[in-house]
Structure 1
Amino acid sequence: MASTIENRRRTPELRTFGSVIRRLREAAGLKQAELAALVNVSRAYIGHVELGKTRCRLDFAKRLDGALKADGEVVAAWNGLLESIKSVKYAAYFVNFPKVESTAKLIRVYETHVVNGLFQTEEYASAIVMDPDILNTRMNRQKQVMSAPAPKIFVVLEESVLHRQVGARDAMRRQLEYLLELSERSGVRLQVLPTVYVEDARAAFTIATQADRSDAAYLVTGMGGMTSADPDDLANLHERFASLQAEALNVRDTRALIRRVIEERWT
C-alpha cells in the first residue's frame, strides 16, 4: 500500500526534474552526500529529489543551481516543472469550482463538520489533508480568494464545528482565534448556527456569485461533492441559505460564543 502511494506521488514531471539534478550532479563529479553538504540538507533529501519523491521549493532549486554551477539550468527545470503541474491537485469532484470561486464577488458558505477551507489555518488544514501538494494547493487557493480585492463572504457555521477537535488542542484554539480575526474583516460575515433543525439543511454547500450575477454552487455529497450551475439547484440553495441565516446567531453573538468556546474548551 505504501509503495502504491509513493508511486502516485512520483509523477513523470517530478521524475524528469530529478533526472536533471542527477545528471548535473554526476557531471560535476559530486556524490549525493557531497552535494547535500554544499546546500545544507541531508543526503536522503537529495536522493528523494533525484528520484522524484518530493518537489523542492524555488529557493532550494536556486541553491542547487549555484552549488552545481549549472548557470540557470536547475532553475529553468524547476520552472518547467511548475508549468507542467499548474493543473493543481484538487479532488476530482472539486475541479470545476476553484476558478469560479477565485473570480467571485460574493461567496456564501454553509459548513456542517469542519471549518471551510478558505478559513482554515495551515495547522488545522494539515490535520485534514495528508498530501502536501493538496495542502499547498489549499493554502494557495486561500491566498488567491482572500487577497484584495476580496469578495464579500457570508458564512453560516454549525456550532458543533467549534467543539469538534481537529488536530491538537492548541491548533484548535488558534483556529478559533483566526475565525475571530476573520470575522472582524469588513467583507466577512460569520454566523454560528446553534444546534437547531433547519428544513432541508442536510449538507454543506458554497455558492459563488460573479459580477454579472451568475452563480455556481459546490455541494458536499456522501461521495465527495459536485458542482452545479442549474437554476433550480441554485434557487433551492439561495432559499436554504436564507433560512440558515435566519436561524443563526448574529455576528456579535457569534464572536461572543467563539470566545466562550475558546476559553471553556480550548484554553
Structure 2
Amino acid sequence: MASTIENRSRTPELRSFGAVVRRLREEAGLKQFELAAQVNVSRAYIGHVELGKTRCRLDFAKRLDGSLQANGEIVTAWNKLLESIKSVKYAAYFVNFPKAESTAKVIRVYETHVVNGLFQTEAYASEIVKDADILNTRLNRQKQVMSEPIPKIFVVLEESVLQRQVGTREVMREQLEHLLELSERPGIRLQVLPTVYVEDARAAFTIATQADRSDAAYLVTGTGGVTSADPDDTANLHERFASLQAEALNVRDTRALIRRVIEERWT
C-alpha cells in the first residue's frame, strides 16, 4: 500500500501532508484506531502517515478523504505532495521553508523591520501584502503553525519595529496589543532588542527545528530570501541567535516596553 521512508529521509512535504490528516481526524473527533478501523488499516499505519514516515497511495488518500468528510482537502494535499516529490531534489540549499516551519517543534525568529508573518494581525498584514491570494496564504500559514500542538517559538524583535508605523495608528495599536497577548501564551518567548550593535546580526532570519533536531533556515536578503538546510549555515545562525537573545530585554521587560510604546505612540 505504501513505501515506508526512514526517519532521516522524511521531508517537510511528508510531514505537512501528515499534519493535514491529523488535523482533519481530530476535527472529526476520531482517535487513530477509530479512523484505522474505518479505512481498514492498522492504527500504526495511520500514525506513520500523520508523522510523515510513509507516503500513502492516492486511493488511500481518497479513502481518508471520504471517511473524514474532508471535501477533497486530503486529495488536494496528496496531489501537492506528489508534485513536490516530482519537482524537488533536496539539496543543502533547497528546502521548502514554509513546509518545514509548519511541522517544526521549535522556531527561532529574528526580525529587523516588521513583525514576523506568524504574529501579524490581518490588518497589519494587509498593509504589507496587497495581493489577496498571498495575504490569504499568509493567514492560513499562521493558522497551521499556531494550531495545537503549537511549537515552541522564540522571537527577538528589533525595538524599531514597535515604532515603525505600518498602516494607521489603530492598526499599530492592535498589532502591539496582539504581541502582548501572544507573549503570555505558554511556549512563546518574545524579546525586544534595544538599538545596540550585535556582531553578524545584519538581516532577519528564521530557524525551524524538527522533532529529529534537523534544521531549516530562511534568511532575508535585499531581493527576497534564501533557504538552507546546510548544517554549517544553521549552526552559524543558532550562534547568532544566542548572541541576540543575550543582548535583548528579558520577557517581562519586553512586555513593559511594548505597553509603554502603545501608550506613548499609538494611543
Give the TM-score normalised by structure 2: 0.66
2:206, 2:213 → 1: CA distance?
15
Map Cα deviations across residues 207-253 of structure 1 (whole Å, 9 max, x no partner): 00000000000000111001101111111100000000000000000
- Counterparts of 1:152-231 in structure 2, within 5 Å, are 152-231=152-231
1:226, 1:110 → 2: CA distance?
15
Report sequence identity in percent. Answer: 85
Structure 2 unaligned residues grouped into runs of 5+: 1-70, 81-92
Tell me if 1:234 matches 2:229. Answer: no
SS at match of 2:149: coil
2:172, 2:252 → 1: CA distance?
21
User: Match for residue 133 of structure 1?
Assistant: 133
2:94, 2:257 → 1: CA distance?
32
Aligned residues: 185
Determine if contact 2:95/2:216 at 8 Å carries over to the other structure: no
Determine if contact 2:105/2:152 at 8 Å carries over to the other structure: yes
Determine if contact 1:217/1:229 at 8 Å carries over to the other structure: yes
Determine if contact 2:158/2:192 at 8 Å carries over to the other structure: yes
User: Match for residue 262 of structure 1?
Assistant: 262
Determine if contact 1:94/1:225 at 8 Å carries over to the other structure: no
Equivalent residue letter for 1:222: G
Determine if contact 2:113/2:160 at 8 Å carries over to the other structure: yes
2:197, 2:180 → 1: CA distance?
25
1:139, 1:253 → 2: CA distance?
29
Superposed CA RMSD in Å reads: 2.3
SS at match of 2:217: strand
Equivalent residue letter for 2:187: G
In the TM superposition, what is the alpha-carbon distance from 1:121 to its structure 2 partner? Answer: 0.1
User: Match for residue 149 of structure 1?
Assistant: 149
Determine if contact 1:183/1:189 at 8 Å carries over to the other structure: yes
User: Match for residue 248 of structure 1?
Assistant: 248
- Distance change in 2, residues 1:144/1:94 (3 Å): farther
Equivalent residue letter for 2:170: D
Map Cα deviations across residues 134-187 of structure 1 (whole Å, 9 max, x no partner): 000000000000000010000000000000000111000000000000000011
User: Match for residue 40 of structure 1?
Assistant: none
2:192, 2:96 → 1: CA distance?
28
Larger Rg: 1
In the TM superposition, what is the alpha-carbon distance from 1:99 to its structure 2 partner? Answer: 0.5
2:255, 2:198 → 1: CA distance?
22
In the TM superposition, what is the alpha-carbon distance from 1:83 to its structure 2 partner? Answer: 4.5
SS at match of 1:196: coil
- Counterparts of 1:71-86 in structure 2, within 5 Å, are 83=76
Q: Which runs of 4+ in 1 moved over 2 A?
A: none
- Counterparts of 1:64-103 in structure 2, within 5 Å, are 83=76, 96-103=96-103
In the TM superposition, what is the alpha-carbon distance from 1:96 to its structure 2 partner? Answer: 1.4
SS at match of 1:148: coil
Determine if contact 1:194/1:249 at 8 Å carries over to the other structure: yes
Equivalent residue letter for 2:179: L
Map Cα deviations across residues 103-139 of structure 1 (whole Å, 9 max, x no partner): 0000000000000000000000000000000000000
